[in-house]
Amino acid sequence: MAEEIIQQIVDWISIAPPLGVYLIFFGIAYLENIIPPMPGDVIVAFGGYLAAEGVISFFPLWLITVIASVVGFMNMYWFGHRWGSQIEEDKESHFILKFFDYKYFARVKKWMARWGQWVIFGNRFLAGTRSVISLTAGMSHLKVSLTMLNSLFSSILWNSLLIASGWLVKDNWKIIGDYLSNYGKFVLLFLILVVLIRFGMHRFRSSKSS
C-alpha cells in the first residue's frame, strides 16, 4: 500500500511544473504530521534525488519541508491543546481516538513526564509516533515557544538528513525506505532498552538504600 502511494506521488511530481513540485513537497511534509501512514520521509528523500538531478533546488526544498513539518506539528499541538480535556474525559468515543489508540497518548505522556522537551526535540526521529507526540504535547500544555523551537530543531536535523541521503544515493533513493523501516525497529528496541536500564538502576538503588 505504501509503495503504491509513493509511486502515485512520484508520478504527480514528474508531471508538475516547478512551483507545483514545491507545493507537493510542502503538502507531503505537512500531511505526514497529520496522517501517520503517509510515507513522507521517503518522498522527502526523493526530493533530495531531484535536487541532485537539478530538477529543483536543494535549499528551497529543505526550507519548504522544514516549515511544513513545523506547521503540521504545531497544528496538531493546537488541536491537542484545544480539545485535550475532551479527549481525556471521553476516552471511549471521542472521534480522534478512532484514529489513535489512547494507550499511545498515555505512553507519550509518561515520556514527557520523564524527559520533557527532549521528546519534542527527538520527535522527527520517532517515525510513527509524531502525530501522537504533537497531540500529547498540546494536551499536556507544554510551553508553546519551547515546543515550536524544539520542533524546528528536530525538523532541521531530520529533513537535512533525508534530503542529503536522497542527494547522495540519487536514483537508488527507494532503498532509503528500507533503511527507515529498519531504523524504526532499531529506535523502538533502543527505547525499550533505555527504559529497562533505567528501571534496573532504580531497583538497584532502592535495594542498596533499604
Helix (H) or strand (E) holding 97: none
Question: Residues 108-132: what's their mean pLDDT?
Answer: 78
Segment among 118-122, 166-170, 191-195 with least mean pLDDT? 191-195
Q: Which residue has the higher pLDDT, 112 or 23?
A: 23
Between the alpha carbon of residue 147 and those of residues 77, 78, 86, 126, the distances in Å are: 9, 11, 22, 16
Of the pLDDT bands very low, low, confident and very high (cuts 50, 70, 90), residue 192 is low
Query: What pLDDT score was predicted for residue 177?
Result: 63
Query: What pLDDT score was predicted for residue 181?
Result: 53
Q: What percent of the chain has pLDDT over 90?
A: 17
Domain ranges of the chain: 2-175
Q: Retrieve residue 199's grid coordinates.
A: 528501571
Ramachandran angles phi, psi of 150, nearest 5°? -70, -35
Query: What pLDDT score was predicted for residue 6?
Result: 72
pLDDT, the chain, mean: 77
| Tens digits of residue pLDDT in 9-64 | 878 888 888 888 899 999 989 988 887 666 778 888 888 888 888 888 999 999 99
Query: What pLDDT score was predicted for residue 74?
Result: 93
The greatest distance separating any two alpha carbons of the chain, rounded to the nearest whole angstrom, comes to 70
pTM score of the predicted model: 0.75
Beta strands per DSSP E along 62-209: none
Between the alpha carbon of residue 181 and those of residues 29, 39, 51, 132, 151, the distances in Å are: 18, 11, 24, 19, 22
Between the alpha carbon of residue 49 and those of residues 137, 168, 194, 197, the distances in Å are: 33, 8, 35, 40
Separation CA 113–CA 119 (nearest Å): 10
Q: Tell me the residue type at 53.
A: E
Best CA proximity match to 148, nearest among 87, 80, 75 = 75
pLDDT above 90 for 68: yes
